[in-house]
Structure 1
Amino acid sequence: MSLVRQLIQIALVEAWRGRTLAGEFVYDSKIDPLAGFLAGQPAPILIASVEEAEQAEDGQATRGVMGRPASLTIMVQTGVATGREIRDENGVIVLGAIGESDASYEAMLNLLDFQWRCALHDPDNSWAVLFRSLVTSIGTIKDVRATDPETGSKHAARFTQFKAEVLPDPMPGDTLPDAIEAGLTALEADGDPGFALIAASWRLMLEGSPDRPDWRILQSGLFTTDAGMAALGQIPAAIDTPADVELSMPGAKPVVISHDP
């Protein structure tokens, strides 16, 4: 479960960038200690990561390790270190630089939580559209406040976790599903050299072997051996040098059938 997970993580970050109170402070799988990170952070933050992936036994290609639909556990971390002015359309400050009270931090976290969810539902946000095209359903959503495990003190941050059923990764040589092709195309068109390198690497790995016969491709997908393919009647018969065959029928002249290339 690699390519879809990669596209999911990038789509989340890009769907949120510049569309919430966090502005450009949106990160992919940042692993710095939260307390230290917030101390030097000038604005609210959003962090996206995929924490777990599970592929059920009854999925496609059950015996194999590729080609199955998966369930991802996605984590969204929101945090507030300092205030930020929010103005209405007339320039009036609705929520100014927030104070050091729990209530004001909570208000900012709630606004940020609402904004990232709205961004993923936005029909005009191309990265959000990509995310939705890779996800077939969203399961249980749970969020908890971040606390310091040593002191028990609460941070102005929340962890939101949800399950997402997603498309299976393609096998090498497969025709790419529309959503995955759109994801790779979006990376190539973004202009970020890092994204372009990621897309090029995946396209190279997904090419497959052009001279591999169809039955070998099927064998790979079924995750089976030559013996297994033979049992399914899928291995072509060995072709030796053809021999002439004489067909004899009572009352008729013998007919010789020769190999004619």
Structure 2
Amino acid sequence: MALSNAMQAPFPTIAQDRVYDSRIDPFQGLKEGDIAPLAIVYTDDDDRESLSGNNGGPPWRQSVNLVIELSMGMVGSLVGEDGNPMLGEDNKPLSTFVPIATEPQLEAMLDLFEEQVERLFRQPPNAWGQRLIGSEDALIVRVESWSSKRYVEREAQYRFAARQIMLRVMLPQPPSPDIVAVAPVEPPPIPPPLGPLLDAIIDDNGPYAADAEALKEMLTESGNFGPLVLAPLKRIRIKEADAGGGKRPDGVAQANFPET
């Protein structure tokens, strides 16, 4: 959403609306031989470091690898295993993005492309970028490292105009669940930052609205965001490890709470 400005102008990068989540959707308005930048975004390696020095476990400091693959794609025919062009239901050849040999101009365009992506984390150019980082309910607390690698096809001795950016990002600490005596009648809302983000995507009514609606429904029905339902606390009983002596010879103290 941030890299494409919700698939609408003004676009923050030269990829415009060609930003994908681990897959490449059908594209329109391009003909075979056209060159177009595109980006693929996904996450890898979810690591959690214990913040409790006593017994380990939660809460954790959570970090993930956010991967953004940048490439200069050229529209070409989709070829099957037999080497022949693949045809669609209308019996017309299918097109896809194919790698292109690197040239100085393409490398410069990739430099520009990466700079535009970096600007998204330094100075978010749109409201979706501010939801990503820089606001109170942002998806990312901070970027801890930035690694950029270029792809090289060594076997064929071709250099392709493609780069992989890997950001090590720290995620916010999720809120602790509430403790209640009676379960709520209505399912509780999905907490931030995910809940408000899904609502904003649905309200935007863009290409991802249906996906966001389905995710929200699935997560809400799972019930994982509800409070902890515990019976009312009636008494507290404390027993000292070293029993005897003092004002409590038996080493026991108890307090009863009034019924409500």
Q: What is the TM-score normalised by the length of structure 1?
A: 0.58
Structure 1, 15-24 or 53-62: larger mean CA deviation: 53-62
Q: CA deviation at 1:113?
A: 0.9
Deviations 1:105-131 (A, max 9, x none): 101101111112223444551211111
Corresponding residue for 2:46?
53
Q: Which structure has the bigger radius of gyration?
A: 1
Q: Following superposition of structure 1 onto structure 2, how do residues 90-105 of structure 1 map, counting pairs within 5 Å?
A: 102-105=103-106
* Partner of residue 22, structure 2: 29
Partners of 1:162 and 1:206 in 2: how far apart? 32
**Match of 2:67?**
75
Kindly provide the CA deviation profile for residues 190-233 of structure 1, in whole angstroms up to 9, marking residues without a partner as x. 32211111122223334555682178xxxxxxxxxxxxxxxxxx
Indicate the larger mover: 118-127 or 106-115.
Answer: 118-127
Residue 178 of structure 2 contacts residue 228 of structure 2 at CA under 8 Å; is this kept in 1? no
Show the counterpart of 1:108: 109
Cα gap change, 1:235/1:196 in structure 2, threshold over 3 Å: closer, same or farther?
Answer: same
The verdict on how the C-alpha distance between 1:167 and 1:50 changes in structure 2, with shifts beyond 3 A counting, is same
User: Equivalents in 2 of 1:26, 1:152: separation in Å?
Assistant: 28
1:151 matches 2:146: no
| Structure 2: segments with no counterpart, 5+ residues | 26-31, 76-99, 180-188, 237-258
Hey, what's the Cα distance between the residues in 2 that align with 1:100 and 1:149?
12
| Matched residue, 1:138 | 143
Find the counterpart in structure 2 of residue 182 from structure 1.
Answer: 196
Aligned residue for 1:246? Answer: none
SS of 1:127's equivalent in the other structure is: helix
In the alignment, does 2:223 pair up with 1:198?
no
Structure 1 moving runs of 4+ over 6 Å? 171-175, 234-237
Bigger share in helix: 1
Report the RMSD for the aligned CA atoms in angstroms.
Answer: 4.0
User: What is the distance in 2 between the residues matched to 1:173 and 1:150?
Assistant: 57
TM-score, normalised via structure 2 length = 0.58
2:203 corresponds to which letter in structure 1?
A: A
Offset of 1:148 from its aligned partner? 2.3
Give distance in 2, aligned partners of 1:57 and 1:164: 17
Once the two structures are superposed, the pairs formed by residues 220-259 of structure 1 within 5 Å of their partners are: none
- Identical-pair percentage: 19
SS of alignment partner, residue 36 of structure 2: coil
SS in 1 for 2:219: helix
Partners of 2:192 and 2:212 lie apart in 1 by: 19
Where 1:79 maps in the other structure, the secondary structure is strand
Alignment partners' CA distance in 2, 1:158 and 1:188: 32
For residues 48-79 of structure 1, the C-alpha deviation after alignment (integer angstroms, 9 at most, x for no partner) is 11111100133699754x65331111111111
Contact residue 22 and residue 43 of structure 1 kept, 8 A: yes
Contact 1:172 1:205 in 2 (8 A): no
Aligned length: 190
| Higher relative strand content | 2
State the AA in 2 paired with 1:160: I
